[in-house]
């Protein structure tokens, strides 16, 4: 049974300021939770309507369906909710390919990008300080456990890029098609905000500008969703690295 303090703490973690002050976040559903349990993330508490998850002993809480609905952010709660500690990010490996995000606002986009980094073997994801929190519950759900294999750091992006070489920016319009440009094996690929693209301050730090060309007959399609762009860009970088 949930105590008042447990209920208050879990509900507070829906807000970024409380996640940051407590250094805790929520994960829901067996698939996501077991990804975190099988990693270096530290479990704080686990709540379930099913008794067979009681192998977690002192950290396990059996609750009712009604109580789960109170604490879950899902329309259809998935029997299991857990609280984990937010780990400190690891040192960024500047010798490898890095993905950087400039003010990504949509939690679903960020979650998908984290999964894409995991899929394409990009170990470091750099986020500007004004990018949505990677431990937002919607991000955690859409990333499906890929947080455990991607090192996510929040930085002052302009300062970070000043110290980087091979800064590659992605733009709706550029003379350099991603399919025709020689791509470096390391460096920082920058993706911009959903509505406004890469900000002018960040654009000034970019050495190489790339675009994904349109091939439609009328050439009138709107710009690609940032997560779709990330998939195409990372795939092309990896394809060309295999061909070297």
pTM: 0.95
Give the Cα separation of 77 and 29 in Å (integer): 8
pLDDT at 244 exceeding the cut of 70 = no
Helices (H), 72-133: 107-120
Over range 38-51, report the average pLDDT.
Answer: 94
Q: Encode pLDDT of 137-181 as tens digits.
A: 999 999 999 999 999 999 999 999 999 989 999 998 888 999 999
pLDDT at 242: 86
Instruction: Determine the Cα angle at 52 with ends 47 and 55, to 5°.
Output: 75
Q: Which domains does the chain have, with CATH numbers?
A: 4-85 (3.30.1330.30), 97-243 (3.40.1280.10)
pLDDT at 1: 82
Is-contact 42 58, C-beta < 8 A?
A: no
Segment among 54-58, 86-90, 96-100 with least mean pLDDT: 54-58
Is-contact 206 160, C-beta < 8 A?
A: no
C-beta neighbour count of 177 within 10 angstroms: 11
Give the Cα separation of 105 and 198 in Å (integer): 13
Q: Identify which of 41, 175, 143, 161 has the alpha carbon closest to the alpha carbon of residue 99.
A: 161
Confidence of residue 221 (pLDDT cuts 50, 70, 90): low
Instruction: Determine the Cα angle at 194 with ends 191 and 200, to 5°.
Output: 60
């Amino acid at each position: 049974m949930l105590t008042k303090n447990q209920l208050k703490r879990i509900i507070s973690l829906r807000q970024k300021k409380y996640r940051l002050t407590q250094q805790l976040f929520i994960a829901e559903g067996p698939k996501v939770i077991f990804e975190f349990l099988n990693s270096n993330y530290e479990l704080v508490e686990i709540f379930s309507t099913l008794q067979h998850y009681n192998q977690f002993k002192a950290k396990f809480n059996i609750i009712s369906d009604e109580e789960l609905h109170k604490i879950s952010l899902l329309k259809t709660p998935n029997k299991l909710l857990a609280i984990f500690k937010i780990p400190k990010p690891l040192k960024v490996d500047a010798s490898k390919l890095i993905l950087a995000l400039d003010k990504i606002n949509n939690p679903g986009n960020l979650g998908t990008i984290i999964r894409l980094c995991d899929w394409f073997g990009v170990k470091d994801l750099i986020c500007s300080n004004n990018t949505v929190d990677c431990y937002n519950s919607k991000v955690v759900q859409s990333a499906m456990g890929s947080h455990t294999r991607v090192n996510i750091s929040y930085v002052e992006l302009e300062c970070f890029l000043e110290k980087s070489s091979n800064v590659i920016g992605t733009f709706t319009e550029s003379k350099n098609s991603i399919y025709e440009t020689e791509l470096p094996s390391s460096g920082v690929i920058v993706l911009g905000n959903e509505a406004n693209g890469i900000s002018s301050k960040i654009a000034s730090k970019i050495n190489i500008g790339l675009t994904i060309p349109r091939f439609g007959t009328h050439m009138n399609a709107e710009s690609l969703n940032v997560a779709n762009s990330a998939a195409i860009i990372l795939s092309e970088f990896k394809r060309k690295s295999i061909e070297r």
